[in-house]
Structure 1
Amino acid sequence: MAILSYMDVGDLTETERLVWDAFAVGERIDLAARPDRRVRAEVLRALALGARPAEPGCLPALRIAGAVVTGSLRLAYADVSVPITICDSQVGEPILIYGARLRRLTLSGSDLAGVEAQGVVVESGIDLTGAVSTGPITLTGARVDGVLLLDGARLSGGPVALDATHLTVSRSILARKGFECHGEIRLGGAEIAGSVRFDGAFLDNPGEWAIQAQGLRVGAVLDFSGGARVAGGIRLSNAVVASVLTLRGTVLTEPRRGESLDLRNLAAAEAIMQYGAPVPGRVDLRYARIGLLRDDPSSWPVEISLDGFGYEMIAGSARVTDRLRWLRLDPGGYRPQIYARLAAVYRAAGRDDDARVVRLAGERRLRESLPRTGRLWGWLQDLTVGYGYRPRRAGAWLVALLGLGWAVFAAVPPRAAEASKAPEFHAVAYAADLLLPVVDLGQQSAYLPRGWTAWIAYLLIGAGLLFATTAATGIARRLRRD
């Protein structure tokens, strides 16, 4: 395409001549009220590349509004030294600026057929506020020194509506205030120094990933709050969020193959997972690392993969019984780490009783997966000493059995094995001697039970051996783990 020069002014339409002259003084010109709003893309290209010199003492700039741009605006690999503003206009063909260097690009309020901007460098931000694009916006490998503004924009450019893979932004991405995207957003490997905000947005790609952002790095907040609606899944595996990942009030529907959130290996200082409605699909938190977790039992998903999930603190309305239900939402069955992590968090918060409840629940969950003999042994440990986490239960059993033996042998005293050598008989000491295998009070060896009381003696001896073994096992477990 030939570049218009100063000598080509005679070929310009009246409308194009207005744009041509306004450029030289950096004036914004609004064509909305003109009968002829058409401006050829080649004219805009010529201006952007310096075909019209600036008026003395003025800074040139391409600033138009209300235009109908015909043809394809091609600035690929160009070095454009003036800001480009095409507002509230109709651009019928994709804007091609891949590999270019621009001062600033503003397309706010315009109807676009797409923007191909792979590898572009923009020194002072991109503004797509309120823009409507029926073609894909491609920012793969681009660098934006400033803010990428998408507030109120509507994108519907095919299966991938916005491809910002490996995008670098020195400030923030703002896609709020009614932002809509019909199709996938890709932010994989992108580095955003500030925040990424989709609060109040509508992300629509049902049954597929609404956002794919593996390896995304966000220097501040990653925000899906404010009643944001997501039809499809959000994929944030291996992402790093320096501050807060918030899904407060977010409504997730139509997950991808049953998965609403992929947060594997995510790292965030805080995660707010208080959704606006119960999540219909699985949330994958495997090996994610969160400083503070805030959630709400009323909106927990049907499945949560928790294997290797690490968090330092938890907040919210969930009680320990809710948390045990939360752990059971893991489809992988019993995992010792997830019980140990929750117990450690409770213990660090000074909630030792809750920590013991979690530990005990973990032992009971483990028992469910054991063979019959293992389940029986576990049941006996639970019944007698609560796997070492219920010491009062052990004391209650001891007192009850001791009381039983005392009553029986006080009523039916045993006979002396050797009357001349036998010490004075004491029913309670005799019962204790039978019950406690590590204690020798000289009563058991000196007296022999009579008739049916022998069965009580055998019961106390067996119970004592069982109690001692389970108590030792449980106490050792508790000392080892806690």
Structure 2
Amino acid sequence: MQRFQSWEEIEKTIEGGPTEAERRLKAAVETGKPCQCGPEGQTPPEPEDWSSLPTDRHIRADVLRFFLLGGGQDSPATESGVGLAGALINGDLNLTDCEITGNMLLHNCRFKNGIYAARCTALKNVSLDSCKLPFLAAHGLKTGGQLDFEGAEFQNKDEIALNLQNADIGQSLFLSSAKIFGAADLKSLKTSGQLSCIGTEFQNEGGKALNLQNADIGQSLFLSSAKIFGEADLNGLNTGGQLSCIGAEFQNKDGRALNLQNANIAKDFFFRDQIAVQGVVDLNAARCGDLVDDPDCWPDDAQNGENLILDGFTYHRIFGPTDARTRLNWLAQGDRWNGEFFPQPYKQLAKVLHDMGHEADATKVRVALGKKLRHHACEERIANAKHPIQRLWAKATTPALWIWHSLSLLLTGHGFRPERSLIALVLLWGLATIPAHLAWEEGSFAPNSAVALQSESWATYSADHSYPPHPNPAKDWSLTSTIGRDWESFNRYAYAADLVVPIIDLGQTDAWAPSTERGWWGWHLWWARWVFTLAGWIVTALGAAALTGVIRRE
């Protein structure tokens, strides 16, 4: 590399003198105008021989560096800096640790070698718009204005094609429609404006195609319609605006396609409109304002369901489908990793749906979480049993736990639908009234009192030899005898309520009891009343536990 101090030195040092394009560049820089080499808007094709270039387009990298650094006293650059388009630039452009005071506006230029700009400071704008070059090594770059690489092409396969590690961009960074063959390393990049990668193509299959680890984007990051072949690593990304992945394509089979671990997106996260994903989308501990998505765009692996990680992902609202069925399918794709179940995605979704007013759907999500937790609790109970006896006991008691969990789901929705226990209690009451009514009508009831049973009035009605015979002694006794008329009147509905509702006492079971000797229904009701009473206790206890939140696992 030659460090020219004056234009005179360039004329004396370079054999044959400056090229026609270099002389035009000098005149343009001195007048503050752009230098156009070749047809406007066209990037020169790849030369067959870089040692023999057309003089009207050939500019040596050392000469370009001379003007970028302000030119000499005999050819000073204006405050506009350098504007150059359509040039063929030969040699290494080394701007390491340099300060560029004016603009660096290169358009449609083709470079033989890459650009070295580590720790370079550009006080104004830097542009490589539609330029083609092997690489840009600019870690630690600082710019006071924007950085524009729209339509640029970087070709450095298997290496770092674009290195902007720890770069500090004063305004925005534009990479829209660029093509980067090799790694794009933007780790710890900082920009006060936006980062636009709309329509950009990143290719580094098998490695990190786009590295934005711990990048700090002051406004929004746009990956809309981008194509990323390799990992898009956005671990620890922080944006002051939105993250848009609308219509993007992430391809990294057998690895992470999109890594958003610990990312903090201040506003909307767009993940919709026919996004194509092959690989893992990792949202572990990521945060965003609003989630604007299409559940069909998320990766789905029918074999193991582990191409999506949702553990720790938080958001404030959802703009997209909010019905429980759709969202539960989405959660099922991302609630496990390496065989471990994570309940947090269900709790997060239930909270958001509740806050948005979709309480019915939120409840369905909570119930689904209860099912998952009980199922995995049984699995973990067996898996954590190390001693053979403990393992045997765990397996032996699993059916009992399954029955208990099934009752909890059926009767209370695992604590989130206590109204189910009331419905079950009403059904039990209705069922109990049937045998109570039939047993009474067939004459299988008797007073539930030793004094009444031994009274002369009851003996008259209950005796087998009484005449005329009484087919329903209890009914006739309670209607016609003096003692019976003063006795508790039988009511099939109240009797059934006394059986199945343990917290009330209507006096029916204290006054009347079915007999096992008088008829078929009486015999069966005598045994069934224990079943009804036990079922009533279970339903009532579970309902009370659901109302107080004892059996909820939120």
Pairwise TM-score range, normalised by the shorter structure: 0.7 to 0.9
Alignment of 1:312-461 (within 5 A): 312-330=316-334, 331-332=336-337, 334-371=341-378, 372=398, 373-413=400-440, 414-418=445-449, 420=451, 423-450=488-515, 451-461=523-533
CA distance in 2, matches of 1:14, 1:356: 76
Counterpart in the other structure of 2:471: none
What does residue 109 of structure 2 align with?
110
Q: Distance in 1 between matches of 2:330 and 2:549?
A: 24
8 A contact 1:389–1:478 mirrored in 2: no
Match of 1:36 in 2: 55
Q: Distance in 2 between matches of 1:100 and 1:468?
A: 80
Secondary structure of the corresponding residue to residue 268 of structure 2: strand
Q: Distance in 1 between matches of 2:247 and 2:231?
A: 16
Equivalent in the alignment of 2:94: 96
Which residue, out of 260, 264, 268, partners 1:263? 260
Paired position in structure 2 for 1:146: 145
What RMSD, in angstroms, separates the aligned Cα atoms of the two structures? 2.7
1:237 to 235, 238, 241: 235
* Cα deviation 1:22-69 (Å, max 9, x = unaligned): 6554555555599634454454555566774357xxx635xxxxxxxx
Please give the residue correspondences for 1:22-61 in structure 2 after superposition, counting only pairs within 5 Å: 23-26=29-32, 28-30=34-36, 32=38, 36-37=55-56, 38-45=58-65, 52-54=72-74, 60=77
Structure 2: which amino acid aligns with 1:409?
A
Deviation sequence 1:438-462 (CA, Å, 0-9, x none)? 2222222333323221222011111
- Find the structure with the greater CA-based Rg: 2
**Cα distance in 2 for residues equivalent to 1:44 and 1:280:** 43
- Per-residue deviation at 1:383? 1.5
Residue identity matched to 2:275: A
* CA distance in structure 2 between the partners assigned to 1:370 and 1:201 by the alignment: 46
8 A contact 1:292–1:311 mirrored in 2: yes
Q: State the partner residue of 1:473.
A: 545
Partner amino acid, structure 1, of 2:498: D
Name whichever of 194-203 and 28-37 sits farther off.
28-37
Q: Distance in 2 between matches of 1:409 and 1:128?
A: 91
**Partner secondary structure for residue 129 of structure 2:** coil
Instruction: Rate the CA distance shift 1:95–1:470 in 2: closer, same or farther, 3 A.
Output: same
Partner residue of 2:48? none
Q: Distance in 2 between matches of 1:108 and 1:233?
A: 29
The residue that corresponds to 2:463 in the other structure is none
Per the alignment, residue 70 of structure 1 pairs with none
String of CA shifts for 1:208-231, please: whole Å, max 9, x gaps. Answer: 221111111111110011x22221
**Structure-2 separation of matches of 1:198 and 1:49:** 29
Query: Measured at CA, do residues 129 and 359 of structure 1 come closer, stay the same or move farther in structure 2, by a change above 3 Å?
Result: same
The residue aligned with 1:66 is: none
The residue correspondences of 1:204-283 to structure 2 (distance < 5 A) are 204-225=203-224, 227-255=225-253, 257-268=254-265, 269-283=267-281
* Greater Cα shift, 327-336 or 210-219: 327-336
Q: 1:82 Cα deviation (Å)?
A: 7.8
C-alpha displacement of 1:389: 3.0
Does structure 2 conserve the Cα–Cα contact (< 8 Å) formed by 1:4 and 1:42? no
Q: Partner amino acid for 1:410?
A: H
Asked if 1 retains the 8 angstrom alpha-carbon contact of 2:71 and 2:77, the reply is no
Q: Which has the higher helix share?
A: 2
Deviations 1:276-299 (A, max 9, x none): 234222211111111100110221
CA distance in 2, matches of 1:411, 1:48: 104
In 2, Cα distance between the equivalents of 1:181 and 1:187? 13
Distance 1:5 1:481, change over 3 A: closer
Contact 1:23–1:47, Cα closer than 8 Å, also in 2: yes
Q: Deviations over 1:249-275 (max 9, x none)?
A: 1122234x4211111111112100115
For structure 2, the residue ranges without an aligned partner over 5 or more in a row are 40-52, 301-306, 379-397, 453-486, 516-522
SS at match of 1:157: strand
Q: Deviations over 1:416-447 (max 9, x none)?
A: 22165663322222211111112222222333
Number of aligned residue pairs: 456
In 2, the alpha carbon distance for the partners of 1:437 and 1:311 equals 45
Q: 1:329 is paired with a residue of what secondary structure?
A: helix
Q: 1:437 to 1:98 in 2, by over 3 A?
A: same
Between the aligned partners of 2:3 and 2:99, the Cα distance in structure 1 is: 21
Give how far 1:96 is off.
Answer: 0.8
Equivalent-residue separation in structure 1 for 2:418 and 2:69 (angstroms): 83
Identity score, percent: 26
Over residues 121-174 of structure 1, what are the superposed CA-to-partner deviations in whole Å (9 max), with x where a residue is unaligned?
00111110011012x211111101111101110111242111111111111011
Do the aligned partners of 2:67 and 2:82 also contact (CA within 8 Å) in 1?
Answer: no
